[in-house]
Copies of this chain bind each other. A is one copy, B any other.
Amino acid sequence: MKKQILEVLREHKDTFVSGEDLSKKIGVSRTAVWKHMKQLKEDGYQIESVSRKGYHLVKEGDTLDPNVLEVDLKNEYIGKKIYHFESVDSTNNVAKKMAHEGAIEGTVVIAEEQTKGRGRLGREWLSPKGDGIWMSIILRPEISPSEAMIITQVTAAAITLAMRKILHEDIGIKWPNDIVLHKKKVCGILTEMSAELDSMNFIVVGMGVNANVDIEDFPEEVKDKAISMKTYFGEAVSRKDLTMQILHEFEALYSDFAKNGDIKKTIDICKKYSVTLGKRVKIISRQKEIEAEAIDLTKDGQLLIRHDNGEIEEVLSGEVSVRGLYEYV
């Protein structure tokens, strides 16, 4: 209903539409029109209403409402079905549950708040109400578990492209799963999979974008490493525009890989915007802690490092700190 009202308002962008016309076109009572108009205003849509003239859409809202997103998003399958929640424990958890129950590839889960938002290795990811983009995508690629890193890289590349297009800013990728703005984390990616030994049941890739989060309210240890767009630019960004752009870039890069086995574009973007490559890095794994130079990404999105003795190694796991970013100096 809201969706239909919005469509009519948009068709008459430069004029007013009367409540009566709206109620006739859509086939509902004028009271119903009035109620939905109220909801749209609550979603941030600026709607002028003048008696005897009717309604006029002055400014689009910044809502992550699926009724709006699903219409505006020009994708083939990523985000064709979006589930939007006020509050969940974690969008990845909700998405994993849906995937187990058969949700199709491209299904998206968005929440206004995560009460148990998670980063890698079960770490907490603060996800306060209404200010971030807390979103997960369900994927069903025909790959083995060892190839799952590619999905993280596709996601990092898509988010970086989207942010650069919307914000025209210097956004970088800290391998493998952080997006950084001004040397601080503005977005994290959490890739989780359900798999057999050599085949995938499904992948859920989650992202937490500190879009308009008030980082000032965060604990000190988080504030040191994290940043929000609102904090950096001094004003709120459109969560809706950014979400749509991310899903749009994602579909293009992911389809290249899943349908054509082509990952080159993704890896090129990840290399181009990497804040890791060419830097001194510290790698902490379960077994050991080493320092080396980050020199390249493999064609599968793994990091290549050069040890101080000249030996070159592929990093398959572990925590990577980059000199000059966060606490590693």
Residues of A within 8 A of B (CB): 93, 96-97, 100, 120-121, 142, 144-146, 148-149, 152, 176-177, 190-199, 201, 286, 316-318
Contacts and interface: CB of A to CB of B under 8 A. Distances in A.
A316 B196 contact: no
A89 B196 CA distance: 18
Contacts of A100: 93, 96-97
A199 B146 contact: no
Contacts of A195: 145, 192-193, 195
Nearest to A199: B121
Nearest to A195: B193
11 contacts: A120-B199, A144-B317, A145-B146, A148-B197, A176-B197, A191-B196, A191-B197, A193-B193, A198-B316, A198-B317, A198-B318
A316 B192 contact: no
A228 to B, nearest CB: 25
A277 to B, nearest CB: 19
The 9 closest A-B pairs by CB, nearest first: A198-B317, A145-B145, A146-B146, A194-B194, A191-B197, A193-B195, A144-B317, A192-B196, A148-B197
Contacts of A152: 197
A193 B145 contact: yes
Contacts of A194: 96, 192-194
Contacts of A148: 145, 197
A171 to B, nearest CB: 22
A144 B197 contact: no
A300 to B, nearest CB: 12
Q: Count chain B CB atoms within 10 A of each CB in A148, A197, A286 and give the residue with the most.
A: A197
B196 A190 contact: yes
Contacts of A142: 286
B198 A192 contact: no
Contacts of A317: 144, 197-199
Nearest to A189: B197
A185 B43 CA distance: 60
A120 B198 CA distance: 9
A316 B146 contact: yes
A176 B196 CA distance: 12
A199 B212 CA distance: 31
A33 to B, nearest CB: 44
